[in-house]
Chains A and B, each alone.
Chain A
Amino acid sequence: MSQDPTVVLALIDWWRLAENFLILSAISMGGPLILLPEMRRFLVVEQGWITNEQVTASVALAQSAPGPNVLFVALLGWNVGMNAGSYWTAFFAAMLSMICMMLPCSLIVYGAARWVQQNAHKLFVRAFKQGMSPVVISMLIASGWTLATAGTELQADWPIWLLSAVTVGLVLWGKIPLVLLIAIGGALGALGLLGGV
């Protein structure tokens, strides 16, 4: 594990941090996680503000915490701020990063949503929704599949696969609240029933 860098942030650096996320936001089609390599390049390689380990931990933490996964961007900012000295800079950098990551794309989507709503009866709008539907459903299933299988092997990690499969069944045919399922998964893991470290 490499030592976390000590960073001095000048005013121009705060702007660079903001600008980076503002631009990435506008091109984040398919979700912000796709842009992770780009963020890593800017924050780790170009600026040297955080380490690769901090990037990886940010993503892992955001995915395991409640709330949208895009909060990993807040954590990236948090780490930049922590390396710059204090909880205050960390908090400010986290908020700045998150707001800049959400502002452009939200405005675009808001405009698009209004436009689509006003033109809902137009043939090409309906064609767009109908044509995209099977593809986006399948992408949802594929992302679940990738999450379930990444870094695991059937023989060694079958309890993990089984848990994912049982979850699918319980959601489709059971009436258990989803958050309870998550809690059960966490408990099974903590008790060491799923293998692991």
Chain B
Amino acid sequence: MSPEPRKAPGSVRELFVFFSLLALQGFGGIIAFIEKGLVQNKKWMTREEFLEDWAVARTMPGPPAINMGIIIGSRHFGARGAFAAVLGVFLFPSFLVLGLAVLYSSYGHLPEVSNALRGMGAVAAGLLIATGIKLLTALPSNVMGLRVCAVLVVVTFVMIGLLHMRVAYALFGLGGLACVYAYRCLGRHRAADPASSRKDRGQS
């Protein structure tokens, strides 16, 4: 779709450095940084592709942002790539956070510290919301159609954001229903246009 040629990480080392740098910048969660880094800066994938991988990463056990690293890493360099991505995400931040734990026990009670953390938390919240809104722009190509997608987005938000229901209900209840519906839509598409059955997302 995009006029620019698809890029890819050149080496396992590049992958490791990429995820290390992201993880070190990513205060309050790193998914916003991963999305911007992969889609906008490196252009290793389109927003639509990112969204498809994110759907898998979010439904598997483990932290979704790290699952994303495993998916991207294994796609390009197999097990070595997956390991490089996970190591990149963890290596430096884990030393940093342990160092902070030591500092925190001495300075954590200062009002400036907790107020600064409040401010950083508010920005981190904004980053998450903005990343979600950016991903919404990939929905028009969804097979279920924009109207059904909009209903799913709103209902999920009400369930989790407003009613604070368990994530599993939305993920496997509502998400499960959506998958069944998407399956029917895809089947209908294929019946209407047999040629499209050969296409998959690799051919853009």
Contact = CB atoms under 8 A, between A and B. Distances in A.
Real complex partners, A and B? yes
Interface of A: 25-32, 34, 57, 60-71, 74-75, 78, 91, 94-95, 98, 102, 104-106, 108-110, 112-114, 116-117, 120-121, 123-124, 126-148, 160-161, 163-168, 170-172, 177-179, 181-182, 184-190, 192, 194, 196-197
Given A104-B61, A134-B152, 19 more contacts: A30-B167, A61-B104, A66-B25, A68-B26, A95-B94, A106-B70, A129-B56, A131-B144, A131-B175, A131-B182, A137-B136, A141-B133, A142-B160, A160-B118, A163-B126, A178-B25, A178-B127, A179-B25, A181-B123
The CB with the most chain B CB atoms within 10 A, among A121, A140, A167, A192, is that of A140
The CB with the most chain B CB atoms within 10 A, among A34, A114, A184, A186, is that of A186
B182 A130 contact: yes
B25 to A, nearest CB: 4
B30 A67 contact: yes
A68 B66 contact: yes
A164 B90 contact: no
29 contacts: A29-B59, A29-B60, A32-B63, A61-B100, A63-B121, A66-B23, A67-B23, A67-B90, A67-B96, A68-B30, A109-B57, A109-B60, A127-B186, A130-B143, A130-B179, A133-B51, A133-B149, A135-B174, A140-B128, A144-B126, A145-B129, A163-B122, A167-B123, A167-B130, A171-B127, A179-B25, A194-B115, A196-B111, A196-B114
Nearest to B72: A113
A127 B129 contact: no
Interface in B166-204: 167-168, 170-171, 174-175, 177-183, 185-187, 190, 200-202
A173 to B, nearest CB: 10
Nearest to B184: A127
Contacts of A112: 56, 60
A161 B132 CA distance: 17
Contact of B202 (A65, A120, A140): A120
Interface of B: 23-33, 36, 51-52, 54-67, 70-71, 74-75, 79, 82, 86, 89-90, 92-94, 96-98, 100-101, 104, 108, 111-136, 138-139, 142-144, 148-150, 152-154, 156-157, 160-161, 164, 167-168, 170-171, 174-175, 177-183, 185-187, 190, 200-202
A63 B66 CA distance: 15
Given A60-B117, A75-B101, A172 B168 contact: no
Nearest to B155: A138
Given A140-B31, A190-B115, A197-B114, A57 B97 contact: no
A144 B129 contact: yes
B66 A131 contact: no
Given A29-B59, A64-B117, A109 B127 contact: no
Given A132-B175, A141-B128, A63 B28 contact: yes
Contacts of B36: 178
A43 to B, nearest CB: 16
Contact of B123 (A139, A145, A164, A197): A164
A179 B24 CA distance: 9
Contact of B55 (A34, A133, A148): A133
The CB with the most chain A CB atoms within 10 A, among B51, B132, B143, is that of B132
